[in-house]
């Protein structure tokens, strides 16, 4: 079996998707799972920029440094590179479906579809709120990260 490769996607790649990437990296490392991981945005608003300072502080609360992450935009090539592409919400899922090549093998879904009882739900977008919103997002992406690690180990 090929090594799993997971891409987490939100709009700008500075809040939800870098937090999801960080949570998944931590869970995969804890489980000893070999996996390629990245995050991207469907928009090009923050290409080359670090995550939002509130996201950096939130990850740091859990001992994870994401200050070196840099925003990038998702592309059609990602559908060949990644086995799993997980969108933070319905809008980004639709954007990914639009750029997906006709024949791809990547599993494309909402991130919270992995969490029992959360199918079809969007990850909370903390952009317009305060640090508490980033903590809510962290809890959601961490639950999804644990579920994905369990699924990949099964």
Is 54 part of the annotated catalytic residue set?
no
Is 125 part of the annotated catalytic residue set?
yes
Q: Which one from 15, 16, 25, 89 is the annotated catalytic residue?
A: 16
Task: Show the tokens assigned to 90.
Answer: 């319905």
3-class state of residue 5 by DSSP: strand
In angstroms, rounded to a whole number, what is the distance separating the alpha carbons of residues 64 and 51? 13
| Closest-CA residue to 103 (of 79, 78, 73, 75) | 79
Q: Which residue has 């639950």 as its token pair?
A: 143
Q: Which one from 10, 15, 52, 78 is the annotated catalytic residue?
A: 10
Side-by-side strand order, sheet with 84-87: 36-41, 5-10, 84-87, 107-110
Q: Which one from 57, 70, 113, 125 is the annotated catalytic residue?
A: 125
In angstroms, rounded to a whole number, what is the distance separating the alpha carbons of residues 22 and 130? 20
Is 52 part of the annotated catalytic residue set?
no
Are the C-beta atoms of residues 138 and 16 closer than 8 Å to each other? Answer: no
Task: Show the tokens assigned to 101.
Answer: 């090549």
Q: Which residues are marked as active site?
A: 10, 16, 125
């Amino acid at each position: 079996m090929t090594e799993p490769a997971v891409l987490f996607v939100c709009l700008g790649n500075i809040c939800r998707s870098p937090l999801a990437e960080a949570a998944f990296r931590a869970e995969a490392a804890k489980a000893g799972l070999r996996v390629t991981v990245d995050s991207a945005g469907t928009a090009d608003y923050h290409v080359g920029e670090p995550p939002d300072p509130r996201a950096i502080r939130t990850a740091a609360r859990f001992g994870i440094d994401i200050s070196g992450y840099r925003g990038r935009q998702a592309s059609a090539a990602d559908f060949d590179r990644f086995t799993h592409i997980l969108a933070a919400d319905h809008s980004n899922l639709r954007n990914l479906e639009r750029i997906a090549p006709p024949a791809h093998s990547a599993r494309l879904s909402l991130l919270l579809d992995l969490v029992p009882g959360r199918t079809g739900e969007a990850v909370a977008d903390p952009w317009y709120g305060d640090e508490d919103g980033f903590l809510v997002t962290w809890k959601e992406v961490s639950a999804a990260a644990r579920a994905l690690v369990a699924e990949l180990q099964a």
